[in-house]
Amino acid sequence: MRKTEIIIIGGGVIGASVAYHLTERGAKDVLILERENQHGLGSTGKATGGVRAQFETDINIKMSLYSLDFFRECDFDCGYEPRGYLFFATDRKQFDYLRRNVEKQKSLGVKAVEIIDTKAISEIVVGLNCEDITGGSFGANDGFINPLALMHGFAEKATANGAKIQTETQVTTIETRGGKIVGVETDKGKIEAEKVVLCSGAWARGLAKTAGVDLPVEPQKRQIVWAKSAKPLPANLPMVIDLGSGFHFRPATDFVNPSADDTDVLFAYPDANEKPSFDTNFDESFIPKVYEQARHRAPFLAETTIVREKCRAGLYENTPDHHAIIGGCARVENLYFCSGFSGHGVMHSPAAGRAMAEIVLDGAASFLDVSCLSLERFATGKLLHEAAFI
Ligand SMILES: Cc1cc2nc3c(=O)[nH]c(=O)nc-3n(C[C@H](O)[C@H](O)[C@H](O)COP(=O)(O)OP(=O)(O)OC[C@H]3O[C@@H](n4cnc5c(N)ncnc54)[C@H](O)[C@@H]3O)c2cc1C
């Protein structure tokens, strides 16, 4: 029977980052199992590519700070573009929330983040309807990356270091004996392993269950509308987010066939009526709903035309407190979780991959205390609180 030291289930950006960091730290026998015929077809290939340090909780801010440095300094091109993130508030309570967050972000070392007034907002996004806007926050180092380029960068380095990626292999069961990992069962047969790292995104819960563990990760459909403007969009558009409704837009980049175009835009909002499901079909009825918000917010969004073939739906992998689950497993020795990123997995993949690799190889993460992200927090009630998720 085939044997390997460490199996990673799932070849998205998280699995690739874990493999990269494991092999950078000297692990040789690392195998990624991916059920699709290529990796990146899960949520990673659907992501918008936003990266930001503008969060509420210490752990999210610290994961972002580490990851932003990584994007800036890594020796492969992940398409990092610091075009900024603009959050705007439409009432005093939201504005106070942004003020508190910016204060905390600065205290933790975030640079070039500031509270801005309505006039500054109207200058950053020329043509935005600012009538109902109270103020906002702008982080200049936030911006965009190419999720697929990042994933391929991790995967190529990992394989150059000796990791293997096996596609078209669906893991059906995580196998344990006496409370310890012994391997996995796949549709291509059994593979023995000393350690298993679960990086299967929105599909993590069902696999954890096969090892007798309840991993609270719920899939939720998130949709994105791609539209084209007849004339160039306002120059240097950042990511723009209405904190109250979650409506957001950004200049669009085709990550599969990257091209420079200043007339393409993406917009979306979190639809509160979306029930947990694995459905990834784009629903046409989302278009009029998102356009209603776009029309109110800016004439340059209202005047765009839908590019239907580029509209898409993917899955968020939500946990009850919208923070990832990173760590080992109290019930099963040598089983590890790196899942549940709740819509922030691309931007946090460098920090998450390194933390996971250090936990697997050394027992704890040395550069950042991620113990607050352990699965145990759901049993002990030590949930985190972040309201600025979109
Ligand atoms: C519309 C949308 C926009 C987003 N925008 C952003 C953004 O701007 N910034 C950001 O940081 N994040 C964003 N996200 C979230 C981000 O895409 C995810 O957090 C991230 O991709 C998670 O990576 P992953 O590797 O854990 O999951 P995935 O990319 O889903 O990878 C999991 C892999 O596991 C495989 N798999 C599943 N089950 C099995 C099995 N049984 N056996 C073998 N393989 C299996 C799947 O095929 C898949 O390839 C967005 C998500 C969506 C849907």
246, amino acid identity: G
Beta bridge mates, 269 = none
Interval between CA 183 and ligand 1 midpoint (Å): 23
Average pLDDT of the residues in 85-91: 98
* Substitution site in 38, 81, 346, 348 for ligand 1 pocket (most atoms within 8 Å of beta carbon): 346
Give the whole-angstrom CA distance, residue 98 versus residue 388. Answer: 9
Q: Are residues 129 and 212 in the same domain?
A: no
Residue 131 Cα to ligand 1 middle (Å): 37
Write the pLDDT tens digit of every residue in 24-73: 999 999 999 999 999 999 999 999 999 999 999 999 999 999 999 999 99
Q: In the numeric block, which tokens belong to residue 327?
A: 């760590």
Band (pLDDT 50/70/90 cuts) for residue 260 is: low
Identity of the amino acid at 330: A
Distance, CA of 356 to CA of 362 (rounded, Å): 10
Q: Whose CA is nearest to atom 51 of ligand 1?
A: 47
Shared domain check, 137 and 96: yes
Contacts of 356 (CB under 8 A, 6+ apart): 18, 21, 197, 326, 336, 338
Query: What is the share, in percent, of the chain residues with pLDDT greater than 90?
Result: 94
- Structure letter (DSSP) for residue 310: G
Q: How far is the CA of 336 from the centre of ligand 1 (A)?
A: 17
Residues 125 and 245 in one domain: yes
Residue from 13, 21, 43 to probe ligand 1 pocket by mutation (most atoms less than 8 Å from CB)? 43
- The domain that holds 133 is classified in CATH as 3.30.9.10
The reply to whether 312 and 228 lie within a common domain is yes
pLDDT for the residue numbered 262: 82
Residue 173's pLDDT band (cuts 50, 70, 90):
very high
Question: What are the distances in angstroms from CA 32 to CA 7, 209, 278, 380?
Answer: 6, 20, 23, 32
Residue 376 lies in a domain: yes
Does 209 share its domain with 227? Answer: no
Say if 387 falls within a structural domain: no
| Claim to verify: residue 224 and residue 285 sit in the same structural domain | yes
- pLDDT at site 389: 74
Domain extent, residue 271, equals: 82-141+219-317
> Is there a single domain that holds both residue 137 and residue 208?
no
Average pLDDT over residues 274-281: 95
**Which atom number of ligand 1 is nearest to the Cα of residue 317?**
19
Last residue of a domain, one of 317, 339, 364: 317
Q: Residue 187 carries which DSSP code?
A: T
> Nearest Cα to 228, choosing from 287, 277, 178, 300?
300
* Residue 233 and residue 298 in one domain: yes
Q: Which amino acid is at 2?
A: R
Look up tokens 């029977």; give the residue.
Answer: 1
Going by CA atoms, what residue is nearest to atom 19 of ligand 1?
345
Cα of 115 to ligand 1 centre, how many Å? 32
Does the pTM surpass 0.85? The reply is: yes
The residue-averaged pLDDT of 202-219 equals 98
**Å from CA of 34 to ligand 1 middle:** 12
Give the position, in ligand 1's atom list, of the atom nearest the Cα of 222.
1
CA atoms within 13 A on the CB side of 337: 35
Distance 99 CA to ligand 1 centre (A): 31
Residues 134 and 192 reside in one and the same domain: no
Are residues 184 and 265 both part of a single domain?
no
Q: What is the CATH number of the domain that holds 348?
A: 3.50.50.60
Specify whether 201 is located in the same domain as 326: yes
Domain boundary residue, one of 274, 296, 317: 317
Q: Which atom of ligand 1 is nearest to the CA of 206?
A: 41
The CA-to-CA distance between both ends of the chain, in Å, stands at: 45
Give the DSSP letter string of 261-299: -TTEEEEE---TTPPB-------TTHHHHHHHHHHHH-H
Of 43, 59, 18, 54, the residue nearest 382 (C-alpha) = 59
Whose Cα sits closest to atom 25 in ligand 1? 12
Region 313-338: mean pLDDT is: 98
CB 230 within 8 A of CB 306: no
For residue 349, report the distance from its CA to the centre of ligand 1, in Å.
Answer: 11
Which residues have C-beta atoms less than 6 Å from ligand 1?
9-15, 33-36, 39, 41-44, 46-50, 170-171, 199-203, 207, 222, 224, 314-316, 341, 343-347
Q: Strand 239-242 relative to strand 85-89: parallel, antiparallel, unpaired?
A: parallel
Average pLDDT over the chain, rounded to whole?
96
Q: What is the mean pLDDT of residues 258-286?
A: 89
Residue 17 has pLDDT above 90, yes or no: yes
- β pairing state of 305-306 and 218-228: antiparallel
**373 burial class (0-12, 13-18, 19+ CB within 10 angstroms)?**
buried
CB 71 within 8 A of CB 206: no
| Residue where one domain finishes, among candidates 317, 349, 370 | 317
User: What DSSP letter does each residue of 313-370 carry, written as one string?
Assistant: EEEEEE-TTS--EEEE-SSSBTEEEEE--TT-HHHHHHHHHHHHHHHHHHSS-SSS--
- Give the closest residue to 34 by CA, choosing from 188, 158, 150, 193: 188
232: CA distance to ligand 1 center in Å? 32
- Residue 260: C-alpha distances to residues 151, 197, 264, 305 (Å): 21, 38, 9, 18
Say how many Å lie between the CA of residue 295 and the centre of ligand 1: 30
Note whether residue 51 is domain-resident. no
Question: Does 377 have pLDDT greater than 80?
Answer: yes
| Separation of alpha carbons 254 and 258, rounded Å | 5
Classify residue 76: in a domain, yes or no. no
Enumerate the H helices of the chain as residue ranges.
13-24, 58-73, 92-107, 118-124, 147-160, 204-210, 286-297, 299-302, 345-362, 377-380
Is 298 in the same domain as 274? Answer: yes
Pairwise CA distance, residues 157 & 305, whole Å: 40
